[in-house]
Amino acid sequence: MDYLEIIDRSDSGEYISEENWDLEKVAMTCMRLVSQYDLKWDRQNLVPDDPALADRVFAAGLALAVEIGAYNRSSERILRFERDELESALRDMKQTLSMGQGADERVLFARQIEDSRPPLVWAGNPGAPHPEALFLPAVVSWAQEPIVDLITCGTLAEVDGREVRTGEALEITATRRELTYLHQALAHVGRPGMGMLAAQSSVSELGDLAAANPDYLRTCDAHLVPMLNELKIDNRNIARAVNSIEYGMRNGGLYCAISGGLGGDAPGCALISVASMILGLLTNRADYHILHPIHIRHVATSTREVLWVESVVLQAFARNAPAIIVTDVYPKSGALTRELLYETAANALAITVSGGHLEGCGSADGLVPHATGLEPRLMGEVGHAACRQGVTRAQANQWILQLMEKYEHVFRMPEGNPGARFDQAYDLETLQPLPEWTRMYEEVKTELKEMGLDLSG
Amino acid sequence: MNDVIITAIQQTLIEGNVETAETAARAALEAGVDAQTILNEGLMRGADIVGQQFEAGEVFLPQLMFTARALKAAMAIITPELKRLSAESGISSSKGRVVLATIQSDIHDIGKNIVSTMLTTGGFEVIDLGVDVPIKRIISTALDEGADIIGCSAMLTTSMPFMSDLIKTLEAMGQRERFKVMIGGASVTPAYAERIGADGTAANAVQALQLARQFMQNALA
């Protein structure tokens, strides 16, 4: 089904108000399907080894997609799809996807549960606003890490000291400058062909159009096309997807279902995530998926609810419709805190053994420029070690629970645990972590080794 | 007898059932229960219980939204009587009127919707303009509707400057003192709110309701 058909259905589908979509369609249907498919979660079993549960989550998600479809917020119409249309999209789903070029090219692939092939490590903090002076050094800090395969970045909140406003002239400037800095970073670390998920400073189609040029986003790179909460798209995001298709670039379908939101608790979030990813193949024209569930109160992906959702959704696809799923790591804590490293390790374990690739870290919820290259290094090391060692879901769960004892208190801190800004954690001359940050990293690695994870490789 | 009726009204709000909420409100009026009592001790108390359960993570967003919907339905039943009482006493039953919007260029609305629901369940009249709302429309609606409070949200850092523009425009129009302006969103901090001249910000929907109540209490003081 091509995008013209999506545009047609956006204009001709059944009308429904957004409030009724949210309540009558999404919330009511989720409530019924969670009960019908007996979807339950256990706060002590965040990486379940339960094939039947994974299959039920997938079946319920597909049922949701078939039953209600997606909603076009611009036209206030429902986009309905027949079961065979969705199943056909699943069958045609890419199993490999080349990113980047030349010696730096990497191939994303559909991972399996407890796959011995290590996840690709996609480093960066999409969405986090950065002052212009810190943008390039921050990107270099993770691009220089040998374990990193692909990069992404935050946004430029200002250029030349002026605030960037969505949909106005400086969005174009900011998007092109972001891409210029990214290419400078890749040249600086000697990996000019690395694949990127970028143009993060582009929120409207203005930035997207400005970046669709080989000097900025190349056709071997990717850009986000988000599904809006929940199960919604709008004409502007369809336009972004079409821009990528016409240009020949990759679309990363982004799905941020909310645990505690319209689907209710974690099981409802899981089935919305599955439905989003199935529908996103058609509505978002996704070449690969970015799984990023959100906790309604704490945001972070390191909460029990979100860890469970990420794990069970990855397993649901791995068993029923193998897919390329890059899974976000957005810890609550920021740089120069031990908790950031514990959260990163817990997230990386859950994702790796469940069948996902790793993307992050959106440290401090991705709200501030408090991310560095050190935590994606650890994220990759943990993911690689888990594969090398053949870590099972049960073992990963046990370690995650131990790690949670060390970091779960951050969700009770009124101001969160934002830690320090990039330039307080890294030396801006050498672009290496400051001694205190290195010491914390080494100490946490020692703790992980003592726990049983073989980080010697 | 009244206690039984009031408890039944609370229960319909907790269940978030539109039909039973309407029936219970109608039955209470027919039984001679004062409309103000139905509102304050029945509807508001029931909604408050659900709001507390939501804050504690015991219920989720759909339950809160169903309660808000049931509250609106029951309010429609008792509003004529409330208006009559209000005309007699000269005291309004509304806690205040809020114009709410996700600011121009931003399409994120979950947080704004939760605030809208919490304010509604807290007794405020909410005019929710939706997402990506131009500042001119926010201001014209606030003026036309006689709002007490303007509430704006932005999740994107690059949308936040439009909240500053809104306040500057109110000032330029000489209308700044007519409204309290509260702002919110993932990246909005108290320091940012102060810097752009907003009257306050809230980290979550419960705090937003507290802030709105505080604005109204200060206005009456």
Are B60 and B108 contained in the same domain? no
Place of tokens 């193998």: A322
A261/B contact by beta carbon, under 8 A: yes
Q: What is the pLDDT of residue A228?
A: 94
**Residue from A428, A430, A294 nearest A362 by CA:** A294
**3-class SS string, chain B:** CHHHHHHHHHHHHHHCCHHHHHHHHHHHHHCCCCHHHHHHHHHHHHHHHHHHHHHCCCCCHHHHHHHHHHHHHHHHHHHHHHHHHHHHHCCCCCCCEEEEEEECCCCCCHHHHHHHHHHHHCCCEEEECCCCECHHHHHHHHHHHCCCEEEEECCCCCCCHHHHHHHHHHHHCCCHHHCEEEEECCCCCHHHHHHHCCCEECCCHHHHHHHHHHHHHHHHC
Are B35 and B75 contained in the same domain? yes
Mark the ranges of chain A whose per-residue pLDDT is less than 70.
Answer: none
**Residue from A151, A92, A155, A69 nearest A286 by CA:** A92
Are B141 and B64 contained in the same domain? no
Answer yes or no: B106 catalytic.
yes
Tell me the β-bridge partners of B184.
B153
Q: Return the structure tokens found at B11.
A: 């229960």
Q: What is the pLDDT of residue A284?
A: 95
Q: Please check whether residue B122 is in contact with residue B165, taking contact to mean a CB–CB distance below 8 angstroms.
A: no
CB contact under 8 A, B66 and A164: no
Q: Please check whether residue A249 is in contact with residue A221, taking contact to mean a CB–CB distance below 8 angstroms.
A: yes
In the stretch 69-98 of chain A, residues with CB closer than 8 A to chain B read: 73
The CA-atom distances, in angstroms, between A354 and each of A62, A84, A318, B129, B163 are 20, 27, 8, 42, 42
CA atoms A95, A100, A106, A112: torsion sign: negative
Are B50 and B34 contained in the same domain? yes
Q: What is the pLDDT of residue B84?
A: 82
Q: CB atoms < 10 A from the CB of A398, how many?
A: 16
CB contact under 8 A, A166 and B106: yes
Which listed residue (B93, B116, B153, B159) is catalytic? B159
Tell me the β-bridge partners of A288.
A252
Q: Return the structure tokens found at A399.
A: 């370690």
- What is d(CA A328, CA A372) in angstroms, rounded to the nearest whole number? 16
Dump pLDDT digits (tens) for B121-149. Answer: 888 999 999 999 999 999 999 999 999 99
Complex ipTM? 0.81
Tell me the β-bridge partners of B152.
B101, B183
Q: What is the pLDDT of residue B91?
A: 67
Q: What is the pLDDT of residue B1?
A: 58
Are B113 and B10 contained in the same domain? no
Q: Which of B68, B89, B110 is the last residue of a domain?
A: B89
Are B184 and B211 contained in the same domain? yes
| Structural domain of B142 | 97-220
- Give the ranges where A201-234 is alpha helix by DSSP (H): 205-211
Q: Which of B89, B122, B143 is the last residue of a domain?
A: B89
Give the gyration radius of chain B's Cα atoms. Answer: 18
Helix axis angle for A51-68 and A266-283, nearest 10°, is 60
CB contact under 8 A, A23 and B65: yes
A7/B contact by beta carbon, under 8 A: no
3-class DSSP state for residue A47?
coil
Q: Please check whether residue A286 is in contact with residue A245, taking contact to mean a CB–CB distance below 8 angstroms.
A: no
Q: What is the pLDDT of residue A457?
A: 73
Are B133 and B194 contained in the same domain? yes
**Residue from B11, B3, B5 nearest B46 by CA:** B11
- What is d(CA A344, CA A314) in angstroms, rounded to the nearest whole number? 18
How many structural domains are present in chain B?
2
**Residue from A327, A281, A356 nearest A111 by CA:** A356
Dump pLDDT digits (tens) for A199-248. Answer: 998 888 889 999 999 999 999 999 999 999 999 999 999 999 999 999 99
**Chain A partners of B105 at a C-beta cutoff of 8 Å?**
165-167, 203-204
Q: Return the structure tokens found at B183.
A: 């702002």
Are B124 and B62 contained in the same domain? no
Are B111 and B210 contained in the same domain? yes
Dump pLDDT digits (tens) for A51-69. Answer: 999 999 999 999 999 999 9
DSSP element (H, E) containing A449: helix A435-451
Tell me the β-bridge partners of A54.
none
**DSSP letter string, A5-41:** HHHHHHHHSPB--HHHIIIIIIIHHHHHHHHHTT---
- Give the ranges where A13-152 is alpha helix by DSSP (H): 18-20, 28-36, 51-68, 83-91, 132-143
CA atoms A401, A407, A412, A415: torsion sign: negative
Q: What is the pLDDT of residue A456?
A: 84
Q: CB atoms < 10 A from the CB of B171, how many?
A: 12
The CA-atom distances, in angstroms, between A320 and each of A59, A356, B207 are 9, 14, 43
Are B174 and B102 contained in the same domain? yes
Mark the ranges of chain B whose per-residue pLDDT is less than 50.
Answer: none
Q: Which of B89, B108, B134 is the last residue of a domain?
A: B89
**Residue from A3, A10, A24, A26 nearest A77 by CA:** A10
What's A417's DSSP letter?
B
What's A166's DSSP letter?
T
- Nearest by CB: B105 against A18, A165, A201: A165
What burial class does residue B221 get, using C-beta atoms within 10 Å of its C-beta: 0-12 exposed, 13-18 middle, 19+ buried?
A: exposed
A96-451: CATH topology: TIM Barrel (3.20.20)
Are B104 and B199 contained in the same domain? yes
Angle at B119 between CA B118 and CA B122, to 5 degrees: 85
- Give the ranges where A296-412 is alpha helix by DSSP (H): 304-320, 338-354, 374-389, 393-407
Residues 6+ apart with CB under 8 A from B93: B35, B36, B39, B82, B85, B86
Q: Please check whether residue A194 is in contact with residue A104, taking contact to mean a CB–CB distance below 8 angstroms.
A: yes
Are B118 and B203 contained in the same domain? yes
**Chain A partners of B69 at a C-beta cutoff of 8 Å?**
23
Which listed residue (B48, B108, B164, B165) is catalytic? B108
Q: Please check whether residue A370 is in contact with residue A363, taking contact to mean a CB–CB distance below 8 angstroms.
A: yes
Q: Please check whether residue A62 is in contact with residue A317, taking contact to mean a CB–CB distance below 8 angstroms.
A: no
DSSP element (H, E) containing A237: helix A235-247
Residue spans of the domains in chain A: they are 96-451
List the CATH number of the domain containing B204. 3.40.50.280
Closest CA–CA distance from residue A309 to any residue of chain B (Å): 16
List the CATH number of the domain containing B42. 1.10.1240.10
Place of tokens 């999740």: B155
3-class DSSP state for residue A452?
coil
- What is d(CA A355, CA A118) in angstroms, rounded to the nearest whole number? 10
In the stretch 146-175 of chain A, residues with CB closer than 8 A to chain B read: 155, 157, 163-167, 171, 174
